[in-house]
Structure 1
Amino acid sequence: MSGTGRKEDEVRRMLETSHPQVPAALAARAAERGARLLRRRRAVRRLWLVTVTAVVVAFTVWAVVAQPWQTPPAETTPPLEGW
């Protein structure tokens, strides 16, 4: 008998035996835990979106004020020659 056949036989024997009792409140606890996880994921997602939005707004304000695309004015004047 191959390894797969032994595993199938073992699973069949496990399924033929009596099933263990499931706690009565298991479904309610699982639903509560799932709802809690969903709330936590939503809160993290909202926090992430607020952070990203704040970073984009801060960068936009900085870019408008600083105008980094313009060349800075010259600090010294060029020498006058030929006058």
Structure 2
Amino acid sequence: MSRHERKEAAIRRLLESAPAPVPPELCGDAVRRGTRMLRRRTALRRLFWVLLFAAAVAFVVWASLARPWVEPPSNTTPPLTRW
């Protein structure tokens, strides 16, 4: 018998045997834990979107006040007067 055949036989024995008993409270615990995880994930997702929206609003307000696209006046040379 090769190693592969031994592994296959062991797996077949495991699959054909009766499943291990499951505690009755396991389902309720899993549902509670899953509900809690879902609530946390939803809250984090909402917090992320609120922070993203606040950052976008802050950027728009800053850009409208600072106007970074306008070139600042040049103060390095004096203005030309009479020649």
The TM-score range, normalised by the shorter chain, is 0.7 to 0.9
1:81: Cα distance to partner? Answer: 5.1
1:3: Cα distance to partner? Answer: 4.0
- Structure 1, unaligned stretches of length 5 or more? none
- Structure 2, unaligned stretches of length 5 or more? none
Give the alignment's Cα RMSD to 1 decimal: 1.9
Greater shift in the superposed pair: 73-82 or 4-13:
73-82
1:78 corresponds in structure 2 to 79
Partners of 2:58 and 2:4 in 1: CA distance: 61
Partners of 1:27 and 1:70 in 2: CA distance: 63
2:63 corresponds in structure 1 to 63
Greater shift in the superposed pair: 49-58 or 67-76:
67-76
Identical-pair percentage: 48
Partners of 1:4 and 1:58 in 2: CA distance: 64
